[in-house]
Structure 1
Amino acid sequence: MMNKKQQDMPTIIIDEHNPDQNKYEQLKEKLRYKQALRENSRKIDHKQVRLNIQADALPSKTFFIMNALAAVIAGYGLLGDSTAVVIGAMLVAMMLGPISGIALALIDARWLLLKTSLSTLALGVIMIYSIGIIMGLIHFDLPITNEILARTKPTTIDLMIALAGGAAGAFAAISPRLSVAVVGVAVATALVPPLVASGILLAHAQLPNSANAFLLAFTNMVAIQVSSSLVLWIAGFRRGSDDDINSIWGFIKRNSLSLIILFILAIYLSFNLIQSVHKQLYETQIKQQIYQNLNVNNNVIDIIQFDQQEDFTLVRASIRGDTAPTATEIEKINTQLAKDRKGHPSYLQIRFIPVHIIQTRPINTVNLNAQDAQELSVDRVN
């Protein structure tokens, strides 16, 4: 027996010996295409989406267990300077739920949901931050890695990434054919690592860097919430008695606090971005000047470091080679070096490492005479 839905579906009976087989196949393909279009154009189930977001915003055992595991994995990825481990930790993180709950609560004027979502998010942040502090104390002897320091310089680039991530998360939540879990991984990447990094830095008493890492996490939270609210509002999630609820001013009114905070953060992060760009341009110019003057006579520049002092910037260069530069050459280079970002002079300091050639007597397969041994590559002789 067929149900009503099956009876309404078109049925085509194909005869393999029929010469019009190709026509039937084309007709079947057109029907499949129309079915795919209907599936792709399914309307948003507002009631179900609201229930899903509210369920994910609750402080459940799953929420805390999964985020705690994500924090531990991310912490060891940061301490081990492993980008792959940090990204892998986000496969178990669940930080998008309460932020989406805040976004829905603001545009729907559901203050009980707002209170629940805020408390869930706050408890999750405290737990993740505490795990970062504990891991920093347990592994206090480990150095601060580049993965940790990379989260201490938030700029407007991070803000734009968070805005896009929040929009993607909200769009996945309302789309019946997209998985929120996949987008949640991308969003959690912007939250859990900086929180854990801030905790580790606090355990090492690096207060400025710890504050910057926490600022990055806070910026991501606000940006994700604002973009999520905007996507949900555009999708028709609007409740309340306000006359202007369907206008953009209604959205701005209900998200006024978040928008003000986001605007202040954008100004500060733009200032950080400008400083970062100027620093990179200055360091690139200095490095080019040093390479042009000292990367000669078989000398190889290994490392160039910048140590900013109160009245000048000390540029330390480590060089391996045969001929050490003289003090006169260094003084000449100092007169050519660009000034730092504060307008102070830059001074070059060289650490020279002489290269000594140690070899046995020349053999037939490789020419090891003194001249060729000084070159960076050795030519084989047939």
Structure 2
Amino acid sequence: MKKKLPDAAKPLLTPLICFVIMVPATIIVIGPASAITANAIANGYNALVAFAPALAGAIIGGLWQIVVIFGVHWGITPVVLANFDMNGCDTFQAFQTIAVVAQVAAAFGVFIKSRNKEFKGVALSAGVTGIFGITEPTIYGVTLRLKKPFICGCAGGAIGAVVLSFFHSAYYAYAGLPGLLTIVNAISKDAPMSFIGEALACVIASVITIVAIQIVGFDDPVDKAEEKEEKEIESPLAGTVIPLSEVHDEVFASEMMGKGCAVIPEEGKVYAPFDGKVVGLLDSHHAVGMESTDGVEVLIHVGMDTVKLNGRCFTIHVEEGEQVKKGQLLLEFDIPGIKEAGYEVTTPIIITNSDEFNDVETKAEGKVTVGTKLLELS
């Protein structure tokens, strides 16, 4: 809808049209299909629990946080809801809680073991967040980063979940974020051992994980004084500098490709902004990628949608893999010819490995010439 509608109509009509299309589609097709699929998976899972509860516990307790890594963990929600709908309770979240608690314990185990004051603070804060069922900071900030603690957490979760299976524990109320605070959901007057099993399994998973980390250890991050290093990128062409947000291409404007700026060129020549190597050269010759000798990766993309010219209006002067010197001519382009063909000549200069730098700042404004300081990387 955003591509088809005029700008003035987008804010109102885009959500309205999507609403009109998607609500009936959800009710008629997507919802029933999801329900059927969820019920089928739930029945398969319940069959496994009935046949081998310890195996089901070991799988979920040990592997659940691996599922979280890939960001697909919310996909189990329809299955859990189907269990509550069909049976009035759910064992999946009971096992899932043990996996969460084990990773939280791993963060606290790192806090105890680490000698790095800054990292101890990270581990502690991540562990506290994990108490509320949010384990992403724990995983990405602490346990998976150090690898061994993550494995210890998975092992502790598996063992704790196996113990839980002996008590036939289940959740009798849905938990949005299963974790230590939701173990009360295992309370049921019809199953008095359910909560006891849940609490005991949490304790066992936590103790095993923490003790394992103290024994196995990990590569403790070393305190290093951060030194600010700045790199400068000179303008590869002459023209007028504009921010990426003003480029008429969402991929560049949203910084999806990386941070940088754009130049509206006055001369159809692109020069090497630094000493380095040509690492990307398309057959259409409208863009060139370079890597500097100190690891900065730059994409110089001449024009918008100029790939459709199939090389017309462009003359390349280098080859892929060629070592070039700063100021060496990389390519030439015919500004009038590109405009006559109906394309813009606005040229984004993108730092494609922007995530390796704390900041990429545009240092030039207005008119620039070849060699003008354009970007500063910290």
Q: Same fold (TM over 0.5)?
A: no
TM-score, normalised to structure 1's length?
A: 0.25
**Max Rg structure:** 1
TM-score after normalising by structure 2 = 0.25
More strand by percentage: 2
